[in-house]
Chain A
Amino acid sequence: DGGITQSPKYLFRKEGQNVTLSCEQNLNHDAMYWYRQDPGQGLRLIYYSQIVNDFQKGDIAEGYSVSREKKESFPLTVTSAQKNPTAFYLCASSPGNRDYEQYFGPGTRLTVT
């Protein structure tokens, strides 16, 4: 079955630690995205990547970093510089080439204490 996987489902970290969230897709999509979801704020774009080895900042990139070394993978690192990292993180992909439907993973809930 094609789709997007995110792991783990729940993640707990202590303040001051960096943490990396995994996102893998086997849909052969060019574009991949990371969103943050907080209650009452909808989805906010953190980073996106249109092709391998290229990515751009979204609306709230500060305190986050990404890499896109393979088409299938787009991991997100939440660094200690992110002031309020506790949130639900969603990864998505889209085919590109004027097909703008986004396919979402199941999400990772990160709790930092």
Chain B
Amino acid sequence: GDSVTQMEGPVTLSEEAFLTINCTYTATGYPSLFWYVQYPGEGLQLLLKATKADDKGSNKGFEATYRKETTSFHLEKGSVQVSDSAVYFCALVPSSGGYQKVTFGIGTKLQVIP
């Protein structure tokens, strides 16, 4: 079945450091890929998405590129802030028709220290 793999963390970075959170997936065809963010004590919110190969999703300084050849969708940000501290979830939705179940990764906790 479909799966998403990401490290659990925590990832600890100093403010203004470069961030990479790796995400790889297993799925047939061309799934849609997502990054969600969860701040402490809250629900998830969509950060960015990409629906076809080579698409780049971006939002709030975060970027991720859909790489079909490496089945990856790594999240990057050039300069993190303390306010970016949260848990980040990679997710996919398969490309076949009908109801589409979302498969989430385990979530990566990011801690940014001043």
Contacts and interface: CB of A to CB of B under 8 A. Distances in A.
Interface of A: 4, 6, 31, 33, 40-43, 45, 48, 50, 56, 58, 90, 92, 100-107
Interface in B1-51: 8, 32, 34, 36, 41-46, 49
Contacts of B44: 43, 90, 92, 102, 104
Given A90-B44, A106-B42, A107-B43, A41 B106 contact: yes
A58 B103 CA distance: 12
A31 B102 CA distance: 12
A35 B45 CA distance: 14
A50 B34 contact: no
Given A50-B99, A100-B32, A42 B45 contact: no
Contacts of A58: 101
Interface residues of B, number: 21
Interface of B: 8, 32, 34, 36, 41-46, 49, 89, 93, 99-102, 104-107
Given A103-B46, A106-B41, 9 more contacts: A43-B104, A48-B101, A92-B43, A100-B100, A104-B36, A104-B44, A106-B43, A107-B42, A107-B43
What secondary structure prevails in chain A residues at the interface with B? strand
Which 8 A-B pairs rank lowest in CB-CB distance, beginning with the nearest? A104-B43, A100-B93, A42-B106, A104-B44, A43-B104, A106-B43, A107-B43, A42-B104
